[in-house]
Amino acid sequence: MKFLLVEDNADLAAAICSRMQLDGHVIDHADTIQDAIAFSETGEYDLILLDIMLPDGDGRTFLQRHRAGKRDTPVIVLTARSQVSDRISMLDLGADDYVTKPFDHEELQARCRAVLRRKSGTAQTVMQIGDVAFDPVAGHLTVAGEVVNLRNRELRLLELLFNAPGQIFAKQKLVDRLFSYDEDVSENAIEVYIGRLRKHLEPSSLRITTLRGLGYRLDHD
């Protein structure tokens, strides 16, 4: 997906970009409202990540302008405020959701998915490998004509595998991605979800291969 990040703090911006790119997303960075406006007018973005406190003004100004220009690119606001009252004003101004800093990337991803799901026309997000169609935003897996609704962890696990078929994913890495940092889970918790995915993919030409001591790999026959 293509993101626009509007954030004036260089370190944070770099960190976010780095993290996003890890998942294969394209992300542009603007550090002022002026730049943000310029970017948003020229580029076609799937989602805008907007920091509220910017050097040349309040992020709300960008929001107002963005919406006034009848653009429907969803905006998720990054804010240091956690007051419930702020949420209302932001939603009133046209933001679709918000995360408070510091935020969990998985939560951000989840919110992005939710926001995009609400938008109509997300056909672009469907990925196809072999005879399997996977829509990570909608959470659908189409195998041999059958649409399977995936649960969140299954979905995220499959998304990881789908994005890099043929790549080996270590169990720990998967644990780190699927479970929250205060959940003390053993590596074998992954087994359960891998099992479920295998079941869903059975009628397809895709397989998840266990590589002992190394991890899992999505293979295409």
Partner 1 sequence: MTEGVQVSGSLRNRLAVTLTGGAAVLAVLLFIVVRSYAAQIAQQGQDSILSASVTSILDAAVIRDGVVEIDFPYASFSMLSTPMDDRIFYAIYQDDTLLSGYGDLPRTAGTATRAYQGSAVRLATASRVLIGANVRTRISVTVAQTQDALSGTLSRISRNVALFGAGFFALATLLSIWATAATIEPLQRLTTSVTRRGPQDLSPVAKPVPLEMLPLVASLNSLMARLDQSLRQSEDFIAEAAHRVRTPLATVRSYAEATLQRVDREENRQALRSMIRAIDESSRAAGQLLDHAMITFRADHLERDDLDLVDLLRELVLRLTPVAEMKDIELHLRADGPVIINGDPILLQNALRNLIDNALKYAPGESVIGIRIITEPRFQVEIRDQGPGFPADEIANLTERFSRGRNAVGTIGSGLGLTIAQDVAAAHGGSLALSNLPEGGACVTFSL
Does residue 25 interact with partner 1 by CB under 8 A?
no
Cβ neighbour number for residue 92 with a 10 Å cutoff: 10
Does residue 85 interact with partner 1 by CB under 8 A?
yes
Of the candidate spans 18-26, 37-45, 67-75, 202-210, the one that interacts with partner 1 by CB under 8 A turns out to be 18-26
Please select the residue that binds partner 1; options are 55, 84, 188, 212, rule is CB under 8 A.
84
What is the spatial distance between Cα 90 and Cα 76, in angstroms, rounded to a whole number? Answer: 10
What is the spatial distance between Cα 42 and Cα 35, in angstroms, rounded to a whole number? Answer: 11
Does residue 129 interact with partner 1 by CB under 8 A?
no
Does residue 32 interact with partner 1 by CB under 8 A?
no
* Residue 108: both structure tokens together: 């951000």
Of the candidate spans 34-42, 96-104, 119-127, 209-217, the one that interacts with partner 1 by CB under 8 A turns out to be 96-104
Please give the full DSSP string across 146-190, using - where no structure is assigned. Answer: EEEEPPHHHHHHHHHHHHSTT-EE-HHHHHHHHS-TT----THHH
What is the spatial distance between Cα 77 and Cα 178, in angstroms, rounded to a whole number? Answer: 24
Does residue 26 interact with partner 1 by CB under 8 A?
no
Instruction: Give residues in contact with partner 1 (CB under 8 A).
Output: 9, 11-12, 15-16, 18-19, 22, 53, 78, 80-85, 87, 97, 100-107, 110-111, 113-114, 151-153, 170, 172-173, 176-177, 180-184
